[in-house]
Structure 1
């Protein structure tokens, strides 16, 4: 063996060990690089998968929103259909009601037709009886002619012996004392105490006397006050109101006055005018109103006029 062989072996061994370590280190580096590349690939794959998942989630959300909108739309349609069905059911009930009413009218119409046929038969029977009576009357016509001649003769004899009463050509207003000129209250009392028929324009008086009361209260107040006035002066009083459909319009328990209500379609003004014309021309008439048209018309009929305000003063004098 050469000298220093041990050192040579040791050096060789160390060199081989170093080479082995370098090989191991290189292998470790390669393995580390491979692991890093694999990790990078996995990370890239994961990122790609994440992006795809996000896109899929976004797509799913959009689809979900669309489905929700569609669900809301269908719910609205369902509500409209429910309302339509409810309306159709209501119309069906109304149609059934109309059908029943029509059937009832048809039944009544048939009954009325039967009654009409019976009435026509009765009318024909009455006509036959009337024709028979006519024939009998014609048979007795000569006798009736004689009776008529006798009646005419009797009438002529009565006209010859009975006195003739000359009818008044027109109504004359009541004369008023000159001392009452300028004294409207005294003039009103004078006319109320006369023999005239006094016609009162009801609401024309009440609306000026009790403007804050209801129409029913106004009527009752005027009726009560005029009843006291009639008892006080002995006046023949007529109150005229509008409206025949008023409760109590046909009461007959007014012992001192007469209350009239205009019928449908006729005003109290026209009733007052007609009442003035209806009364005999020999009877004086006093009309109480502030209505100028009524005053003009009844004055032409010979009536005296008293204003509603002056009459109201007398009511509480």
Structure 2
């Protein structure tokens, strides 16, 4: 009974074939191992690899136990050197494998055991069986089979050489015929070239005559060119004189323009002084008016009143925040506007996020925008309101960062309408920045004194943060 599982690529019939009856094999004569041609050697390894199927592992030498787990074809391919070494050095293993091989060979195996090689038998098969079984006179069988294999190989090589010589002769005959055809073509081509040469000689004579005529014309053209160069030199001198006169006039004009610029600069300095005096007067008047009215500071801003009546807040939302926008994509312009006192920035939420983070889900877009403007509020201390369409409002939105107001438009109203309502609620003169690339929103808020900025301005400012 085998001590290991049959490999997966063995068929069922080979896996259940009963062990052959042992055959009494003659002992080896103890001489030196013969040198086998490669074809016989490979056949010996193949027969031995196939005979290893079904042998218990404990009957195999240690080096062959791992090889025995392969399929026969893999044993011969991967373990050939190991099998050959064990066959030459382990007579007991060779006898066990030869028993199976001889039984499988049938009549040919029986003839080999008797020391007789059938005339019609394959010499490679005869040599392989004789090498494994080693009956009396096995060396003669192996030697005769080796001679037959070598003679067959030499005959095949001789036949191949004969075929090669015949092919070379055929190619030489073909090349000779082609050479004759080419020689005829070359003779025809030579005759044609002689005719062309005669024509070319006549053409050369004609071209020589034309060349002489052209040289005469060239000499005449050279004389005319010299006279034209004299006229051009006189015209250049006149042009240079006119250029000097024009440069003098230009210098006078530049002097006059400099005087005008200085006058304009002095006039602008006077206007700046008047403007500064006016602003100083207005500032002192505002301080006096604030003292006279005695207004208390308020903790509610105009956008908060709009949010109470015309917008929905997300749960846990918080914030105040910031900005007023200009028509520019430079983030520095946004920073300038947010640095104004009491600036308020209103952001068209989805208009910004779908441009900057369109590959994210709506929830991820909202969270990324709110987090980004939260950092902007921390830097500028401006008031910021982010407006989203109410159709996408979700319950349980995370708390907004400090200073950021998050609003959703109510049912029946769009975010654009809520943004315009927030802008109208602000007092005249307060800097209000609206972030949106929607043309209707931009036109609407500009009419109410807000600064519209494209969504690229805010996205670039946030990416810089």
- What is the TM-score normalised by the length of structure 1? 0.41
Higher relative contact order (CA 8 A, sep 6+): 1
Structure of larger gyration radius? 1
